[in-house]
């Protein structure tokens, strides 16, 4: 009798910022991780799937495991341990899926993390682990990316598959002379199925007026307060809520409460990431300043006004709206510390609240089709 040798189960590592920048569980970061984990688990039910996330404020070299919401166990590692972790992955895992979101840095929040560029000689010379870049993004612009060309070049050469979140980044990498195919894939959260999770309800309203939700970063609180004084909100039940801990939304809510007191409703606690997404479904209109907050509104057919502080001409939100067939007028471009902000915001918000908002559902479905194809491609590469 011939005994067939059993093929060992695949080992797949997911690597990103799935707990936010410093384990504060930014909703968008978490949902990028959970969507990726769900798709890979569905396609490789027998595989060992381990999730690793950077924690930029963690000291030492200890890895901390946490499954805060019971959806996926995350291994948080400090910056100081990233290259040791990468060496370990190169000896133990068959595939490494990196991202999505802004893992390729280029901002002023934290310095780039080399692990997301597989910038390690030991790893680069090893061929055991397939590398797949999962709808990643960078804030390096047309000029600043030139000095980083070698790092981006090396990452793409080592990869079996590269996908980026915007066409502007796709173009930028091609201009660097990178010969590997660079795939454009819309943000994968656009294909997230929110129906799997329970509905989140608001505190009861006192009238039947339309509900307006407001969640804005604390860094814009002064401009926001001045704006709220100038716009006509009498026809709305206004709910100020804390969507993102990364952007200190709860502090914004408390400052607004000091000024406007019982004129508005206040949700003075952070929800878990999925509840934050689901909560938006309760509103008839949303004012928000985050990329994934706008995606949450889009998926739940909630009209929105976006505030956009990204300095780059090709901002993520402008590109998102364009890809979904939504007029860019719904994305108000402002700059930090600009004395004109309150005037610009009040004038444009007043006008937009009386305008007709339209979402092109065909374009949403087109994006979702591309996302499904993206995960099918990664599955095929990992299996090959």
Q: What is the CATH number of the domain that holds 250?
A: 3.40.50.2000
If you search the block for the tokens 């999925």, which residue do you land on? 274
Residue 6 within any structural domain of the chain: no
Strands (E), the chain: 11-16, 48-55, 64-66, 74-78, 95-98, 130-136, 161-164, 182-184, 211-215, 237-241, 265-267, 285-288, 304-308, 331-333
* Residue of 136, 17, 42, 18 whose CA lies nearest to 382: 42
Looking at the structure, do residues 152 and 49 belong to the same domain, yes or no? yes
275 class by beta-carbon count within 10 Å (0-12 exposed, 13-18 middle, 19+ buried): middle
Looking at the structure, do residues 33 and 157 belong to the same domain, yes or no? yes
Domain end point (choices 157, 185, 213): 185
Residue 313 within any structural domain of the chain: yes
Looking at the structure, do residues 202 and 181 belong to the same domain, yes or no? no
List the domain range (segments joined by +) for residue 199: 195-363
Taking each helix axis from N to C end, the angle separating 27-43 and 291-299, rounded to the nearest 10 degrees, works out to 60
How many domains does the structure of the chain reveal?
2
Q: What is the pLDDT of residue 124?
A: 82
Domain end point (choices 136, 160, 185): 185
Looking at the structure, do residues 272 and 317 belong to the same domain, yes or no? yes
Residue 19 within any structural domain of the chain: yes
Q: What is the pLDDT of residue 3?
A: 46
Residue 203 within any structural domain of the chain: yes
Domain end point (choices 131, 164, 185): 185
Q: What is the pLDDT of residue 59?
A: 92
Q: What is the pLDDT of residue 314?
A: 75
- Taking the chain (384 residues) in consecutive chunks of 10 residues, what is each chunk's mean pLDDT? 59 97 96 98 97 95 95 96 93 95 84 92 86 96 92 95 95 94 97 90 91 98 97 96 97 98 96 96 97 96 96 86 94 95 97 93 95 98 96
* Entry pTM: 0.94
Residue 339 within any structural domain of the chain: yes
Looking at the structure, do residues 200 and 331 belong to the same domain, yes or no? yes
Residue 357 within any structural domain of the chain: yes
Looking at the structure, do residues 128 and 52 belong to the same domain, yes or no? yes
Looking at the structure, do residues 157 and 259 belong to the same domain, yes or no? no
Looking at the structure, do residues 92 and 207 belong to the same domain, yes or no? no
Q: What is the pLDDT of residue 7?
A: 56
Looking at the structure, do residues 169 and 248 belong to the same domain, yes or no? no
Q: What is the pLDDT of residue 318?
A: 93
Q: What is the CATH number of the domain that holds 43?
A: 3.40.50
Residue 37 within any structural domain of the chain: yes
Looking at the structure, do residues 216 and 328 belong to the same domain, yes or no? yes
Looking at the structure, do residues 285 and 258 belong to the same domain, yes or no? yes
Residue 104 within any structural domain of the chain: yes
Looking at the structure, do residues 140 and 31 belong to the same domain, yes or no? yes
Q: Are 329 and 358 in contact (CB under 8 A)?
A: no
């Amino acid at each position: 009798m011939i005994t067939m040798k059993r093929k060992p189960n695949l080992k797949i590592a997911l690597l990103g910022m799935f707990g936010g920048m410093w384990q504060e569980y930014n909703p968008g970061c978490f949902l990028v991780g959970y969507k990726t984990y769900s798709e890979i688990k569905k396609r490789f039910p027998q595989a060992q799937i381990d999730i690793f996330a950077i924690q930029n404020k963690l000291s030492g070299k200890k890895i901390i495991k946490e499954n805060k919401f019971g959806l996926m166990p995350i291994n948080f590692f400090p910056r100081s341990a990233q290259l040791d972790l990468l060496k370990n992955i190169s000896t133990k895992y068959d595939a490494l899926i990196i991202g999505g979101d802004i893992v390729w840095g280029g901002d002023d929040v934290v310095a780039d993390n080399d692990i997301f560029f597989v910038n390690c000689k030991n790893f680069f010379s090893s061929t055991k682990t397939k590398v797949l870049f999962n709808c990643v993004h960078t804030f390096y612009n047309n000029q600043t990316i030139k000095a980083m060309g070698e790092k981006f070049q090396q990452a793409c050469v080592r990869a079996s598959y590269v996908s980026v979140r915007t066409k502007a980044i796709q173009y930028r990498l091609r201009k660097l002379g990178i010969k590997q195919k660079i795939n454009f894939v819309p943000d994968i959260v656009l294909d997230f199925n929110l129906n799997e999770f329970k509905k989140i309800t608001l505190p009861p309203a006192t009238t039947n007026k339309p509900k307006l939700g407001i969640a804005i970063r604390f860094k814009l609180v002064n401009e926001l307060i001045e704006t709220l004084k100038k716009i006509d909100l009498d026809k709305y039940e206004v709910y100020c809520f804390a969507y993102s801990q990364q952007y200190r939304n709860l502090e914004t809510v408390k400052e607004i409460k000091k000024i406007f007191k019982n004129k508005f409703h206040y949700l003075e606690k952070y929800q878990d990431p999925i509840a934050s997404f689901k909560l938006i479904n309760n509103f008839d209109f949303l004012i928000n300043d985050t990329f994934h907050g706008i995606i949450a509104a889009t998926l739940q057919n909630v009209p929105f006004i976006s505030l956009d502080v990204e300095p780059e001409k090709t901002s993520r939100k402008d590109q998102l709206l364009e890809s979904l067939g939504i007029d860019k007028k719904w994305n108000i471009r402002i700059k930090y510390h600009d004395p004109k902000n309150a005037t610009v915001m009040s004038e444009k918000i007043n006008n937009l609240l009386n305008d007709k908002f339209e979402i092109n559902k065909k374009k949403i479905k087109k994006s979702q089709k591309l996302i499904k194809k993206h995960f099918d491609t990664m599955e095929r590469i990992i299996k090959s």
